[in-house]
Amino acid sequence: MHIQKKTFVVFVLLLAALGASACGRDRVVYVNQQPNAQPVVQAANGVQINGQVNLNPDAVLNLAMSSVSATDFEQKLNTSGIANIDSDGDGQVDPLQVRESAPGGVRTFTIMAIGSTSGQETFVANVPFQQYGNGQVQVAFSGNPLFYSQPHYSVIVPIGGIPIWNRYFIVAHPLYAPTWGYRTPPAYYHSAPVRTVQQVTTVTRTVTKVPVTKEAAPAIKVTTPNDNKVASTVSQKPQASAMGGRSMLEKNNDQTIRVGANSPGAPKATGAQTAPAAPAAARPVAPSAPVSRPAAPAPAPKPAAPAARPASVGRKR
């Protein structure tokens, strides 16, 4: 009797486990579990820096297009409420500098975060502009890959609808280089505590008027002297994810979304990992090719084959 009761309890528990797995199967969301995922970048106080949240590319491009000068763009970045980077971990939003350059003749704004306490500089993004003969201008965004899991964006607009081009770039002027520092910020800059994600998201939606496009590679490739500058107060945790550090399972009541190499149904992630393996497989074959080439002298018997062919032709005659 005791054995039967124990068997019944095990059976009930087994049914409960199967039912729970069946109910939850379509609700589990795997958030970037692959081992080579984008690191979580954090400041000295452990605050995570995620570019898509802390300085949204869509909002940056829209502000750049609507500005009338480099200083106007710089002011809008610092006063609009979209900036939320704290690179030195003092709990305050870093002021952002805009530095103008023209690498290869391409007009470019480089955005730098200046630690509000440390004064150290960190490269955030390049925003280059390119005019085309069809009366359009392309504006691109290439963010620091430390902050942006998807760093490249662009938008193409008619030249008449971009004030920064018509009122600034086509007018002769010296390249803008800010003269202020973290101890002497511009008058419009006011120190503010790091904002919540909800606050930044609300402002970003308000600022973004023109939709932008994600790019697999830089739409306009430029290189500036500031591209590799990263403050010593910024560190990485390689075990974390590209989604702002959320590496745990999340629940979604509406649909199944599985992202990452360890999650089912993620062909992009697995494809990206298996593609490099193809060259590895090809390399062992390459050494074997030279081995077969020395065997090429073996065609010595082949000259005998032409000699045999005339003989066979003679027999037919």
Q: What is the pLDDT along the chain (317 residues), one digit of tens a residue?
A: 555 555 555 555 555 554 444 443 332 222 222 333 445 576 665 566 777 788 999 999 999 999 999 999 999 999 999 999 999 889 999 999 999 999 999 999 999 999 999 999 999 999 999 999 899 999 999 999 988 989 999 999 999 989 999 999 999 999 999 999 999 999 999 889 998 888 989 999 999 999 999 999 999 999 999 999 999 988 775 433 333 333 222 233 333 222 233 333 333 333 333 333 333 443 443 444 444 444 444 444 444 444 444 444 444 43
Residue spans of the domains in the chain: they are: 25-40+238-277, 44-233
CB–CB of 130/114 below 8 Å?
A: no
Which amino acid belongs to residue 244? G
What would you report as the CA-atom Rg of the chain, rounded to the nearest whole angstrom?
30
Q: Check if the beta carbon of residue 259 is closer than 8 Å to that of residue 150.
A: no
Spatial separation of the C-alpha atoms in residues 164 and 66, rounded to whole Å: 6
pLDDT for 75 equals: 97
Q: Is 157 exposed, middle or buried (0-12, 13-18, 19+ CB in 10 A)?
A: middle
Ordered alpha helix ranges (H), 147-255: 163-164, 197-207
Please tell me the predicted confidence (pLDDT) of residue 252: 31
Tell me what pLDDT residue 237 has.
57
Q: What is the pLDDT of residue 249?
A: 27
Q: What is the pLDDT of residue 60?
A: 97
Q: Two tokens at 233?
A: 């107060």
What pLDDT is recorded for position 53?
81
In which residue are the tokens 């003092």 written?
90
The pLDDT score that the predictor gives to residue 272 is: 34
Model-level pTM? 0.64
Q: Other CB atoms closer than 10 Å to residue 229's CB: what's the count?
A: 16
Would you say 154 and 142 are in contact if contact means Cβ atoms under 8 Å apart?
no
Element (H, E) at 282: helix 277-292
56: helix, strand or coil:
coil
Q: What is the pLDDT of residue 51?
A: 75
Cα(241)–Cα(237) distance, integer angstroms: 9
Which residue is it, tokens 């490269």?
123
User: How many CB atoms are closer than 10 A to CB 282?
Assistant: 9
The span from the CA of 48 to the CA of 46, in Å, is 6
What is the predicted pLDDT for the residue at 140? 98
Name the strands in the sheet holding 40-42, side by side, starting at the edge strand that comes first in the sequence.
48-49, 40-42, 235-237
User: Using a CB cutoff of 8 Å and minimum separation of 24, what contacts does 163-172 make?
Assistant: 163/65, 163/66, 163/67, 163/68, 164/64, 164/65, 164/66, 164/67, 164/68, 164/69, 164/73, 164/129, 165/129, 165/131, 165/137, 167/68, 167/69, 168/67, 168/68, 168/69, 168/70, 169/107, 169/129
Length of the chain: 317
- Residue 3 confidence (pLDDT): 53
Name the nearest CA neighbour of 118 among 85, 94, 88, 92.
88
Q: If residue 58 lies in a helix (H) or strand (E), which one and from where to where?
A: helix 57-66
Cα(240)–Cα(18) distance, rounded to whole angstroms? 31
